[in-house]
Amino acid sequence: MALLLASLAMGLGAALVFYFAMRARLPQWPPPGTPPLPAGLWLSTGLLLAASAVLHAALRAARRDRLVTVRRLTRAAFALALAFLFSQAAVWFTAYARQMPPQLNMYAITFYLLTGLHALHIVGGLIPLGCVAARAARGRYTAGNHAGLRYCALYWHFVDVVWLVMFAALHMTR
């Protein structure tokens, strides 16, 4: 699992390197004429952090054998993660409507690229999270056996951290 995350981190890290390389080339960042980022991004951030926290709580509940809590919390995490995706989609539409199509400038390109890549990893994480929620509904995760839940939570913490780094990077202006 750690290996998978290391591999993913290299890929997403390369995208960030690309972002900073682009940023370093231009005297003003974001370039003049770029509209401000939609406020919906803060909502997204909150949703993702909440999903991560809820999964952590689910893991703690599993360690104490509280099966009903595990079931509720994994469902909540799934809903929050799904809500994050919708929120991000809304952000994309808002940004587009505010005259920020990807062709506008390099900042717009990197914005769509980073958020898009991240969203792909969210979609990739929703599938196992769905499986975990379904298994939790059947009470499969006990104090002695919850490796699947743990790996899933680990992955979501990972995409959470990646998002925070990206979010911070997008706000670094000059």
Contact positions toward another protein, by CB under 8 A? 3-4, 6-8, 10-11, 14-15, 18, 21-22, 25, 102-103, 106, 109, 113, 117
Q: 74 is written with which tokens?
A: 């994994």
Cβ–Cβ < 8 Å for 64, 57: no
Minimum CB–partner distance for residue 14 and another protein (Å): 4
- Alpha-carbon span 73 to 46, nearest angstrom: 17
- Alpha-carbon span 88 to 27, nearest angstrom: 29
Nearer to another protein, 28 or 142 (CB): 28
With H, G, I as helix, E, B as strand and everything else as coil, classify residue 43: helix
Containing H/E element for 28?
none
CA distances from 79 to 7, 50, 140 (A): 27, 11, 20
Nearer to another protein, 106 or 126 (CB): 106
Minimum CB–partner distance for residue 27 and another protein (Å): 12
Nearer to another protein, 6 or 123 (CB): 6
Nearer to another protein, 53 or 117 (CB): 117
- Alpha-carbon span 8 to 6, nearest angstrom: 5
- Alpha-carbon span 69 to 47, nearest angstrom: 20
Minimum CB–partner distance for residue 163 and another protein (Å): 17
Nearer to another protein, 1 or 164 (CB): 1
Minimum CB–partner distance for residue 6 and another protein (Å): 7
Minimum CB–partner distance for residue 32 and another protein (Å): 14
